[in-house]
């Protein structure tokens, strides 16, 4: 997989984000309602990546900066968002490769910890994060009161 930096509103990014939102509808009955500002995923406050295989965007993921003045965050945090691999490209290690690149770029940008929110209807995501060194932390963000929500963190 070739990984490239892209804007959050790049046409390939928009397509993959729309697909992951539809996956949330299937799994949870609604889209992710976390507030997103496109600019949060642009340097120096964040980054968005696309993974290409055979010329097609098949994976995405990004991170955005958070600091300790926000509930649930510490200075130096980055929040992982919109990790997704198209169904036909799953099982090839692409999510793990994307996650590693997101962690590497966040650390290079001075971030000290990566956080994320996922849910019980995504057991494969939970398995990926736990096997990549993430541990469960207190819930944060718009899903902090949702019983099926789970939050994870990893020191970078």
Name all domains of the chain by residue range, CATH numbers in brackets: 2-111 (3.40.630.30)
How many other CB atoms are found less than 10 A from the CB of residue 90?
13
Token pair 């340097």 is found at 43
pLDDT number for residue 68: 87
pLDDT number for residue 97: 98
Higher pLDDT pick, 83 / 141: 83
CA-angle at 98, arms to 54 and 47, nearest 5°? 105
- What pairing do the DSSP bridges indicate for beta strands 135-137 and 56-66? unpaired
Rounded to the nearest 5°, which phi and psi values hold at 27? -80, -35
Indicate the pTM of the whole model: 0.95
> Do residues 121 and 143 make contact, with C-beta atoms less than 8 angstroms apart?
no
pLDDT digits (tens, 9 = 90+) for 46-105: 999 999 999 999 999 999 999 988 888 999 999 999 999 999 999 999 999 999 999 999
What confidence category does residue 30 fall into, taking pLDDT thresholds of 50, 70 and 90? very high
- Look over the chain and give the mean of its residue pLDDT values, rounded to a whole number: 96
């Amino acid at each position: 997989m070739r990984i490239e930096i892209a804007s959050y509103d790049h046409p390939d990014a928009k397509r993959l984000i729309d697909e992951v939102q539809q996956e949330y509808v299937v799994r949870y009955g609604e889209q992710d309602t976390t507030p997103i500002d496109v600019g949060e995923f642009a340097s120096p406050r964040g980054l968005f990546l696309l993974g290409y295989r055979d010329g097609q965007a098949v994976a995405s993921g990004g991170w955005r900066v958070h600091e300790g003045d926000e509930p649930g965050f510490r200075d130096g945090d980055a929040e992982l968002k919109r990790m997704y691999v198209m169904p036909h490209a799953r099982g090839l290690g692409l999510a793990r490769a994307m996650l590693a690149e997101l962690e590497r770029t966040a650390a290079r940008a001075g971030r000290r910890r990566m956080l994320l929110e996922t849910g019980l209807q995504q057991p494969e995501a939970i398995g990926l994060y736990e096997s990549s060194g993430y541990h469960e932390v207190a819930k944060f963000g718009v899903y902090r009161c949702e019983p099926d929500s789970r939050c994870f963190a990893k020191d970078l």
